[in-house]
């Protein structure tokens, strides 16, 4: 039985849900997940749903994370100045990673876009192979279509991706649809990692809009629109640390604390999804044939938003003005069947890549 160790970037829920999904596939294929190391801000705890579903020992370690401004947008200047004084702490994190890998002796390390995972692989140079997983690696593909603006942002995102993948054997690039592999760049295009729970859901269409916010400051925009359109029922999941499990603001607006199972269940019945262009949430909506409105809060998400529009998943917007979504809905054409077919190819494809490396 091959032993696998995960390194996971804990920012948002995307990489966490990818890790849960792949852990389920690996267990079914007789791999042993020996440990999961999650990097992120010390003050931001790992969500309870991850501990419940990953079924392996979990360790947290301090790692660089994005810093947001008061409007909920990523502030790159603040991100750099926030982390510079903490460089020594991240050195301790590298030691923690190294000690864990010595302790668990895995046959394979899977890195879900954790930058300290890349630094560990580059500096400690372990004999154990590392494979990197993330939709960001699709940006290295020659056919990927970038937004027209943001050349410097493009450079910074790709530079960061390179750092996460130092000495990696393969870059498994999650994609909304199929593209040719480019082995000369170590880029192998794979289907999204969706949690197995989604396969048992039966989609329906009720009259509420589902909203996912990865930063509490964005709630102000939702509330402003809601006050102008109280007739539209909204259910909003947000990442506020002290959020109640459920908080009913009024008859048509309800807030929910992050809960992976509950979120998927409510997505199966929603009319449409509004989200900050996170790759996983868009994929889940596509699988359930739910139109999306994506509101990117940094360049990487702007790339996701452009790609989501390209494949017909929905519409992009600069703010949480849900009127844009309401105007779009009558013209949306379902794309779920093609996407589900692409996802069904995934399990054999994923295992093939890992077996080649191990």
Whether the Cβ atoms of residue 137 and residue 300 lie closer than 8 Å to each other: no
Q: Does residue 227 share a domain with residue 188?
A: no
What is the CATH classification number for the domain harbouring 109?
3.40.50.2000
Q: Does residue 153 share a domain with residue 11?
A: yes
- How many angstroms separate the CA atoms of 267 and 282, rounded? 11
Query: Could you write out the DSSP letters of every residue in 225-243?
Result: HHHH-TTSEEEEEE--TT-
Domain encompassing residue 145: 3-194+343-357
* 66-84 pLDDT, tens digit each: 655 555 455 555 555 554 5
Query: Could you write out the DSSP letters of every residue in 325-355?
Result: HHHHGGG----HHHHHHHHHTHHHHHHHHHH
Number of domains in the chain: 2
142 secondary structure, DSSP code = T
Q: What percentage of residues in the chain have a pLDDT greater than 90?
A: 71
Q: Mean pLDDT over residues 298-324, rounded? A: 94
Length of the chain: 358
Q: Does residue 176 share a domain with residue 101?
A: yes
Q: Where are the alpha helices (DSSP H) in the chain?
A: 14-28, 48-54, 76-83, 87-104, 115-124, 151-164, 219-228, 260-269, 279-287, 299-310, 322-328, 336-344, 346-357
Q: Does residue 202 share a domain with residue 324?
A: yes
Q: Does residue 270 share a domain with residue 347?
A: no
Query: pLDDT confidence of 105, banded at 50, 70, 90?
Result: very high
Q: Does residue 209 share a domain with residue 180?
A: no
Query: pLDDT confidence of 108, banded at 50, 70, 90?
Result: very high
What's this model's pTM, rounded to 2 decimal places?
0.88
Helix axes 299-310, 151-164, angle to 10 degrees: 100
* 324-338 pLDDT, tens digit each: 999 999 999 999 999
Q: Does residue 116 share a domain with residue 212?
A: no
Q: Does residue 274 share a domain with residue 241?
A: yes
Q: Does residue 243 share a domain with residue 227?
A: yes
CA angle (29 as vertex; 23, 34 as ends), nearest 5:
45
**Residue 158 three-state SS:** helix
* 144-159 pLDDT, tens digit each: 999 888 888 899 889 9
Q: What share of the chain is helix, strand, coil (3-state, %, to 5)?
A: 45, 20, 35
Query: pLDDT confidence of 107, banded at 50, 70, 90?
Result: very high
């Amino acid at each position: 039985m091959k032993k696998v160790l995960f390194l996971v970037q804990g920012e948002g829920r995307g990489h966490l849900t990818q890790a849960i999904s792949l852990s389920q596939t690996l267990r079914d294929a007789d791999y042993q997940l020996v440990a999961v190391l999650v990097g992120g801000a010390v003050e931001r705890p790992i969500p309870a749903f991850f501990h419940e579903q990953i079924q392996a020992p979990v360790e947290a370690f301090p790692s660089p994370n994005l810093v947001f401004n008061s409007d909920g947008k990523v502030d790159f200047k603040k991100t750099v100045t926030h982390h510079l004084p903490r460089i020594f702490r991240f050195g301790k994190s590298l030691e923690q990673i190294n000690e864990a890998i010595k302790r668990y002796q895995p046959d394979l390390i899977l890195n879900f876009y954790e930058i300290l995972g890349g630094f560990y692989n580059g500096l400690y140079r372990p004999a154990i192979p590392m494979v990197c997983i993330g939709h960001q690696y699709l940006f290295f593909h020659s056919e990927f279509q970038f937004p027209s603006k943001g050349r410097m942002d493009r450079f910074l995102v790709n530079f960061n991706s390179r750092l996460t993948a130092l000495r990696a054997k393969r870059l498994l690039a999650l994609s909304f649809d199929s593209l040719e592999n480019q082995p000369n760049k170590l880029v192998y295009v794979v289907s999204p990692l969706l949690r197995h729970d989604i396969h048992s859901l039966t989609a329906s269409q009720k009259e509420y809009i589902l909203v996912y916010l990865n930063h509490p400051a964005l709630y102000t925009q939702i509330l402003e629109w809601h006050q102008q359109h109280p007739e539209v029922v909204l259910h909003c999941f947000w990442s506020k640390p002290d959020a109640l499990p459920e908080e009913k603001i009024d008859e048509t607006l309800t807030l929910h604390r992050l809960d992976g199972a509950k979120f998927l269940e409510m997505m199966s019945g929603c009319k449409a999804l509004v989200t900050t262009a996170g790759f996983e949430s868009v994929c889940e909506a596509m699988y359930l044939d739910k139109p999306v409105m994506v509101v990117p809060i940094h360049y990487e998400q702007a790339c996701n938003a452009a790609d989501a529009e390209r494949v017909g998943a929905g519409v992009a917007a600069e703010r949480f003005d849900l009127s844009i979504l309401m105007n779009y809905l009558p013209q949306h054409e379902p794309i779920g069947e093609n996407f589900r077919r692409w996802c069904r190819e995934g399990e054999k494809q994923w295992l093939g890549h890992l077996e080649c490396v191990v």
